[in-house]
Chains A and B, each alone.
Chain A
């Protein structure tokens, strides 16, 4: 009885994560079209990668763990989902970071709207290379 309740909880948590991923992916797509600046669009793209890739993968792994009719196959699905999610959450922010840093260094896009730009200050002080 207890295990059934836990199973159901895990299943619905997974389902919620998948739906959340879909909604975040939609938001990211809207953001990609509406934001007017490279840096802002990068923010939307990262929402798409983490929100639209990481959450649904975790949810998929949780859902597949609760499905008894899959037999031992569910462990393969869950394992692959969790591993992929781990590497996604590890690499996607770094990809965005590298893009943003490269763009900032090469001065292709003016960062705006902007409150403070520590990178530019450090460059002017000579702490890091231009």
Chain B
């Protein structure tokens, strides 16, 4: 037994050494020197926040969010709907389960764990919301913020029990409602410019963010808040980020809650066992 373990350790070390040797000396993975950006990267870097070329910009200093929600925005919308259908498909499997909150007798962990979890539980949504609302300024965005928020609900499920969330009204219907509300906001935001263009007789595109010389409708990018000064909101990006945050946080929380249901609830009425 002991010899086998030593042998395995030495073998793993040799494999790692061989891989490192191949990587470094033979340059199997060629890492190009980063002296200047590639053509595509510099194109995006030069146009996303370039106020001198307003026909190409998206009014956001954060290139990744601009690409995700403006330049290739429809792709992200499709991704969001795929995620929605995945959650719906997961719910189909448990559609006959009726959850009775009073019977969820899971009491969670000890008092120490519960107390600290309640403290941490306050701070995680704050981080999540700030990541989502700053999505057009700093790395992050709706999906990332929603995922961080889902960590909070996962923590609550593990430490405080599923009953904690159920007693606060996190029911299946309500979470699905938030999820659907996010999707509806996304569809309104991406259709608004197009429909306005149709009604007033100007050119407008689906998923359009800023105005173009040939399509003069757009969301604008600065709002004047009086004493607070001008706030950059980057057109449709902030609305799409908020909607995506709603959708992802509700959807992932729902997925975690369904996964954490007690086994007796899930097999009630089924043929299993």
Contacts and interface: CB of A to CB of B under 8 A. Distances in A.
Count class of interface residues, chain B: 10 to 19
A91 B116 CA distance: 7
A34 interface: no
B113 A97 contact: yes
A91 to B, nearest CB: 6
The binding surface of chain A is classed by DSSP as helix
Contacts of B120: 87, 90-91
A97 B110 contact: yes
B57 to A, nearest CB: 28
A98 interface: yes
The binding surface of chain B is classed by DSSP as helix
A98 B113 contact: yes
Count class of interface residues, chain A: under 10
Contacts of A90: 116, 119-120
A97 B109 CA distance: 10
A101 B117 CA distance: 16
Interface string B113-128: 1001101100100000
Specify which of A90, A91, A98, A101 lies most central, judged by the most chain B CB atoms within 10 Å of its CB.
Answer: A98
Contacts of A91: 116, 120
A98 B109 contact: yes
Interface of A: 87, 90-91, 94, 97-98, 101
Interface of B: 109-110, 112-113, 116-117, 119-120, 123, 159
